[in-house]
Amino acid sequence: MMSKTNSLSIVIAFAFVFHLDLYSISFYNSKGTNFTFAQFIGKPIMVVTLPTKVDSAYAAFFETVNQLATNMKDNFVVVAVPAYEDGFNHFNKNELYRWYESSLSPSVIISEAIYTRKSSGGFQHDLFKWLTTKELNLHLDTEITGPCQKFLINTSGDLVAAFNSKTGYEHQAFQKAVELSHSNKSRAYNF
């Protein structure tokens, strides 16, 4: 017969085995190199969803991503993600990657295209399961609604903010979240 202490230990161990930790998540960049978020321990991280139509209207978006990536290069990781749900496909893949590479700083890590939305079910990439599910990131439950969404993760690996595409980088809330991402404070905001 199992004691209450042993039963509790098994339940706690079971919970840790099935908890998705940011630093256990990996992804491939557009060149096929495997990255794991464990490589970024102790650094603030911004994950952005990329547009999937070549359009000069996104120039300001790319410029701001580059400013953040370049100005804080040694102390800020930017992962830019194209999404299948936004129209990325294998027919436009080469054109889009050329556009991303010509528009983004070399310090921005461009991931391979992935599924980002909860509606993708089992195809949703672990990164976006973690970013959009409160039970996993322990702070926010949010949806991906299109390109140019931004997520900020602090130096402790806590999600501190999620921004929709309409919240610009010049917005005071975004500036505050960037500041929070450089700390180990775990308060989270959804904008």
User: What integer pLDDT is reported at residue 68 of this predicted model?
Assistant: 82
User: What integer pLDDT is reported at residue 125 of this predicted model?
Assistant: 97
> Are 149 and 48 within 8 A, CB to CB?
yes
Sketch out the chain's domains with CATH numbers.
22-190 (3.40.30.10)
| Ordered DSSP codes for the chain | ---HHHHHHHHHHHHHHH---GGG-EEEBTTS-EEEGGGGTTS-EEEEEEPSS--GGGHHHHHHHHHHHHHTGGG-EEEEEEBGGGT--TTTHHHHHHHHHHHS-TTSEEBPPBB--GGGGGGB-HHHHHHH-HHHHSS------STT-EEEE-TTS-EEEEE-TTS-TTSHHHHHHHHHHTS-----EE-
Mean per-residue pLDDT pooled into runs of 10, the chain (191 residues): 47 46 96 96 94 92 87 81 95 95 95 96 96 93 93 90 77 71 61 50
> Are 181 and 78 within 8 A, CB to CB?
no
Q: Please enumerate in sequence order all residues whose Cβ is within 8 A of that of 89, keeping only pairs 6 or more positions apart, or say none.
A: none
Write the CA distances from 6 to 14, 19, 30, integer angstroms: 12, 20, 46
Q: Alpha-carbon distance 105 to 108, whole Å? A: 6
> Are 104 and 66 within 8 A, CB to CB?
yes
